[in-house]
Amino acid sequence: MSPGMLKMWISIAGMGFMFISIMMIYLSRFKIKNSVFKFITALIAYVLMIVSGIIIFFVVISGPTT
């Protein structure tokens, strides 16, 4: 697999993490009533958001492939 394709799949995974975290934050704020489950889903969502931000940052900073 070429480096460009690898970067593409890694960035798609980062965008997927962002989408999953947005859905989990929505669930934890508006749909889940139990406070323990609210905290767990929000914690997982924010961890995924941080990981996806780091992934996208490194993909952008690494620059184009040749």
User: For residue 4, which phi and psi values (nearest 5 degrees)?
Assistant: -65, -40
Give domain limits for the chain: 24-58
Rounded-to-integer distance, Cα 57 and Cα 26, Å: 24
Residue 66 in contact with residue 8, Cβ under 8 Å?
no
pTM here is 0.84
- Contact indicator for 45, 29 with CB cutoff of 8 Å: no
In tens digits, the chain (66 residues) has pLDDT values of: 888 899 999 999 999 999 999 999 999 999 999 999 999 999 999 999 999 999 999 999 998 877
